[in-house]
Amino acid sequence: MKLKKIDLLAGVLVTVIWGCNFSVIGLGLKSLDPFLLTLLRFFLCAIPLALFIKKPPNIGYRTLALYGVLFGAGLWWVVNFAMYNGLSPGMSSVFLQFSAFFTIVLSSLFLKEKINAVHGAGMLLAGAGLLMMLYLAEQSSTTTGILLVLLAALSWSLCNLIVKVKKPQSMIAFIVWSSLFSVPAILIMTLFAEGLRPFRNLLDDFTWGAGFSLFFQSYITTILGYWVWNNLMKHYPASLVAPLSLIVPVSGVLTSYLFFDERLSPAQGLAIALVLIGIAIFINSERIARRFIKATPGTASPL
């Protein structure tokens, strides 16, 4: 199976938007508590849209609840908390993309999707590029922050698996209704961790920057972005779609270079090239494997 050009373009566009999202989260965290920022994000995803959009017909409440808790609390609450505790937006975006590898491995284990030697080569190159980005980054990283974002990456990969197994008929409805279950999970965690303090200061802490951050995260990143992403996950093997998320840290670095005059060193350029080559290998894995078989007569098919 091969990604259609329009689907490939949509996937790349979404991951570029996601690359900007980590800086947008950082903007919101300048004035709002991380727990409260996550809570308001998913509240806006669910209300008032759930009043006008019917529940997805082929999805039960338990599935909606599981996805909502993993996605809202396990993924984004954890990312915001890690950033609040000192992990930079750039480092968060890099570590979170290890979900691509988790998703591919889990899909192979539980859904029997095939991983061939070509996929392995793509993983090695892309992984080397990510590790190189981490080594070259100027921002410091805490062990706790790194572990938290890797936990978030695992949560994202489980969300991808749920979408692949359940295949929601209406992806917008799935995102909106699962957000209804994200809200109480995040609310409970907020009350447990900080009590009512974030709510008491909400009006004083709310700024135009926080408002923009919430709008972007709720409607652009979550509803639009995951509508596209989850539909790709539903229709294609994980080995074709998941690697596209590796564009997120690349777009973050390039955005800083283009719009904020940050220097792009030759080593950073090499790291970006390794990630992009790894993604290209994933996307064209079947074609590469067929050419390898033709070039070496008598070789068994790896597909």
Confidence grade of residue 3 (pLDDT, cut at 50, 70, 90): confident
Q: How distant is the alpha carbon of residue 193 from its chain centre?
A: 25
Asked whether the beta carbons of 11 and 241 are under 8 A apart, the reply is yes
- Name which of 43-47, 159-163, 190-194, 222-226 the model is least confident about: 190-194
**Separation between Cα atoms, residue 193 and residue 188, nearest integer Å:** 9
Q: Which residues contact 77 (CB under 8 A, 6 or more apart)?
A: 34, 35, 38, 186, 189
Q: How distant is the alpha carbon of residue 108 from its chain centre?
A: 19
Q: Is residue 159 scored above 70 in pLDDT?
A: yes
Range 144-168 burial, b when 16+ CB lie within 10 A, else e: ebbebbbebbbbbbbbbbbbbebbb
Which position has the token pair 């220097």? Answer: 263
126 phi and psi, to 5 degrees? -65, -40
Confidence grade of residue 215 (pLDDT, cut at 50, 70, 90): very high
Average confidence (pLDDT) over 183-211: 89
pLDDT of residue 41: 95
Q: List the structure tokens of 252.
A: 């973050």
pLDDT of residue 65: 97
62: how many CB neighbours lie within 10 A of its CB? 9
DSSP-derived secondary structure letter, 244: G
Q: List the structure tokens of 30.
A: 């300048």
192: how many CB neighbours lie within 10 A of its CB? 9
**Nearest of 299, 161, 303 to residue 230 by alpha carbon:** 161
pTM above 0.75?
yes
Q: Average model confidence (pLDDT) for the chain? A: 84
**Nearest of 70, 145, 54, 148 to residue 106 by alpha carbon:** 70
**Nearest of 149, 147, 138, 140 to residue 256 by alpha carbon:** 138
**What Å distances lie between residue 214 and 69, 76, 174, CA to CA?**
19, 13, 20
- Name which of 9-13, 91-95, 119-123, 246-250 the model is least confident about: 91-95
Rg (CA), the chain: 20
**Separation between Cα atoms, residue 183 and residue 77, nearest integer Å:** 11
> CA triplet 86, 88, 89: central angle to 5 degrees?
135
Q: Is residue 232 scored above 90 in pLDDT?
A: yes
Q: List the structure tokens of 141.
A: 């990283």
**Separation between Cα atoms, residue 6 and residue 263, nearest integer Å:** 32
Asked whether the beta carbons of 146 and 95 are under 8 A apart, the reply is yes
